[in-house]
A and B are shown apart, each in its own frame.
Chain A
Amino acid sequence: MEKKIKLNPVASFLKKNNSFAFYVNFNFYFFYGSAALLMEKVLNAIDKKNNPLDVPISFIEYLKNKNIIEEVANEKF
């Protein structure tokens, strides 16, 4: 089954000066420079029907491990 990503509902984030701060489960995570550009792509893909992602799989795995994003089954639309 196809998967799509979404932001963890308990995560919140703030964007400032092309940087991101995320807060989830009492932890902060920061993304600057090229990591912020990748994060921008991830956020743009979220909630899209097929959210294709032009980012390294290792980055997605990192975000999943930190509970910033979740992978869910892509139900029929």
Chain B
Amino acid sequence: MKNFSMNELYQLAWSKPSLAQVELTHNCNQRCIFCYNGHFENQNFKNLAETEWLVIFQKLFQLGIRDLNLTGSETFLYPNLIFLLKKAKEIGFRIRIDTNGMLDISEAIPYVEEFAFSVHGIGKTHEEITQTPGSFANLEENLLKALSNNVKILINMTLTKINYHQIKTVYEHFSNYSQNFKFSPFLAIPSNEGRNFDQHLLTINREFLKNYIGQLRTIPAERLVLKHGFHSIFINNPGHYDCSQILLPNCAGGKNKIVVDYDGAVYPCNFFKGKEHYCGNILTDDATKIWRSGKGFLPFRSLITEEKIPSTCKKCAKKPRCFSGCRAWTKLYRKGEFDYEKDIRCGLGAAYLRSRDNE
């Protein structure tokens, strides 16, 4: 890498995004207690037309994106979803759908590389969280349908006080059917735009993180998917952070990921959808301009290129991949600020490497 500075290589890597997380519809048929989108009763949002989504898909492809992740709300509520999937596949995308499994997925299977199912527990525990009676039976039926079709599957489990005790139960329940899925039990984050669920929020302290990490270690490493920067807390092997390689930060926000809302609005991350992080509307604005100078992307980039991270993190051997962790896990997240803020889990989880700042 002689002749090139690390900042030049970052800029090169971020010159084109590779992943779009797209919310086709803002409607949902569940009312999960932790919903980061803030769904409440009796809401009905207007969808963009299919022709408008096709324009957006073309723009995303031209931008360099090849991985299209259709996220929640509930993708299967979009009226002519199969038509859009077919077109997206023709354009050249690899498609992943995040779903709560309430509606039949059969017709979508031929177009989809991976399904990510939201499983928040077994039976009544799942339904206590989704606040939707009967939702577990539908979910299980659709998940088994995907398993029998050999589609890649990720099981997402959002952890709160209600379901934390069921991490192993969920993993074993579906392992009885097949070993052909990956599992991601991650901590619920109270989003600024989402529901308030403080009474169900897990208390993050040293003892809890020790227990959580212990539970994650019981899942085979090849089947465990870590999210929201937990890699840097979970992985302590110094070789993973070897500076002789060119390492890129874990967080994709503003670097290789673009989030597109149901109305075409673009944001850097699903947890940063306030007006201060609005990057433009991809339906009406120039996509390249949005990616290069969208105001919501810039702080995610300058955090790294200008090292706007705490001194504790600058000393930590995990910095090349971590860069102070997930921005939604900082003390000031709810105020929309994150420069020079540390991920609150790091010290508590004794995650700092070659640094004395573990608490």
Interface residues of B, Cβ cutoff 8 Å to A: 1-4, 8-9, 11-13, 15-16, 18, 64, 66, 246, 248
Interface residues of A, Cβ cutoff 8 Å to B: 9-10, 12-14, 16-17, 19, 21, 23, 25-26, 28, 30, 32
Asked if B12 and A10 make an inter-chain contact with CB atoms under 8 angstroms apart, the answer reads no
Contacts of A16 in B (CB 8 A): 3-4, 8
Which of A17, A23, A25, A32 sits near B15, CB closer than 8 Å?
Answer: A23
The answer for the CA separation of A56 and B246 in the assembled complex, in Å, is: 29
The answer for the CA separation of A3 and B11 in the assembled complex, in Å, is: 32
Asked if B13 and A23 make an inter-chain contact with CB atoms under 8 angstroms apart, the answer reads yes
Majority-rule SS of B interface residues:
loop
Contacts of B9 in A (CB 8 A): 21, 23, 28
Which of B13, B15, B64 sits near A9, CB closer than 8 Å?
Answer: B64
Asked if A14 and B13 make an inter-chain contact with CB atoms under 8 angstroms apart, the answer reads no
Contacts of B13 in A (CB 8 A): 23, 26, 28
The answer for the CA separation of A37 and B101 in the assembled complex, in Å, is: 54
Contacts of B8 in A (CB 8 A): 14, 16, 21
Asked if A26 and B12 make an inter-chain contact with CB atoms under 8 angstroms apart, the answer reads no
Which of B3, B15, B64, B246 sits near A19, CB closer than 8 Å?
Answer: B3
Contacts of A25 in B (CB 8 A): 18
Contacts of A28 in B (CB 8 A): 1, 9, 12-13, 246
6 contacts between A and B (CB under 8 A): A10-B66, A14-B11, A21-B9, A21-B12, A28-B12, A32-B2
Asked if A30 and B16 make an inter-chain contact with CB atoms under 8 angstroms apart, the answer reads no
Contacts of A23 in B (CB 8 A): 9, 12-13, 15
The answer for the CA separation of A19 and B9 in the assembled complex, in Å, is: 13
Contacts of B248 in A (CB 8 A): 26
